[in-house]
């Protein structure tokens, strides 16, 4: 067990050796995730196990726990999304190998360059974020709406009122 997550990692070599890595990752360091967040505060607990299964498939199994802050699309206020994710990636070096993976693995295309751990974590969290995040009928959202006053619509004179005015002038 290694209680530290490196920034970059040679996934294939690490899977060959077999390792468990564990650590915390600052939300602010997950660049790909930041555009959909309302706050970059906090950190996530991450655990990753790299190894080779009995069929010779190199894998990365992991878990991510913590929370991220999104913007509720109903009340536009902050909305915390608790995360407790598990993922199982098959490490492949070609599209052909990705197609050949058993269904229990999601393919992760590995290049010759060491992988950015933050990018892998950001991708997994993005998959868990709803397309249109909203408070789920929570008190937070309801109270905001209670205070919300719709803008006063402009008073539009009806055509009949205009006609009545014309008649009065005659
Ligand atoms: Zn809301």
CA–CA distance, 68 with 43 (Å, rounded to integer): 8
The domain locations on the chain are 8-146
Q: Which two tokens stand for residue 90?
A: 């098959």
Q: Output the tens digit of pLDDT for each of the chain's 170 residues.
A: 667 789 999 999 999 999 999 999 999 999 999 999 999 999 999 999 999 999 999 999 999 999 999 999 989 899 999 999 999 999 999 999 999 999 999 999 999 899 999 999 999 999 999 999 999 876 778 765 566 666 665 555 555 555 555 555 55
Q: Closest Cα to residue 97, out of 112, 107, 87, 111?
A: 107
Instruction: Label residue 121 exposed, middle or buried (CB < 10 Å: 0-12, 13-18, 19+).
Output: buried
- Ligand 1 ion local residues (Cβ < 5 A): 72, 74-75, 135, 141
Q: How far is the CA of 68 from the centre of ligand 1 (A)?
A: 15
Q: How far apart are CA 3 and CA 88, in angstroms?
A: 20
Q: State the alpha helices, DSSP H only, in 20-136.
A: 95-99, 117-128
pLDDT of residue 32: 94
Looking at residue 18, the DSSP 8-state letter turns out to be: -
SS3 111: coil
Measured CA to CA, the distance from residue 140 to residue 77 in angstroms comes to 9
User: How high is the pLDDT of residue 18?
Assistant: 97
C-alpha 69 – ligand 1 centre gap (Å): 12
**81 CA distance to ligand 1 middle (Å):** 12
Query: How far does residue 73's CA lie from ligand 1's centre (Å)?
Result: 7
Burial class (CB in 10 A: 0-12, 13-18, 19+), 139: exposed
How many whole angstroms from 132 Cα to the centroid of ligand 1? 11
Q: Given this model, what pLDDT does residue 139 score?
A: 72
């Amino acid at each position: 067990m290694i209680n530290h997550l490196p920034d970059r990692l040679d996934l294939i070599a690490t899977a060959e050796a077999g390792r468990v890595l564990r650590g915390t990752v600052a939300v602010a360091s997950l660049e790909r995730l930041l555009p959909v967040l309302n706050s970059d505060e906090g950190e996530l607990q991450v655990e990753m196990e790299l190894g080779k299964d009995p069929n010779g498939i190199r894998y990365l199994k992991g878990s991510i726990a913590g929370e991220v802050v999104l913007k509720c699309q109903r009340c536009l206020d902050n909305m915390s999304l608790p995360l407790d994710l598990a993922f199982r990636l098959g490490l492949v070096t070609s599209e052909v190998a990705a197609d050949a993976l058993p269904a229990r693995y999601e393919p992760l295309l590995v290049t010759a360059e060491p992988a950015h751990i933050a990018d892998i974590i950001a991708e997994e969290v993005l998959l868990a974020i709803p397309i249109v995040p909203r408070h789920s009928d929570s008190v937070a959202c309801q109270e905001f709406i209670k205070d919300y006053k719709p803008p006063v619509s402009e008073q539009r004179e009806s055509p009949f009122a205009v006609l009545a005015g014309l008649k009065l002038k005659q």
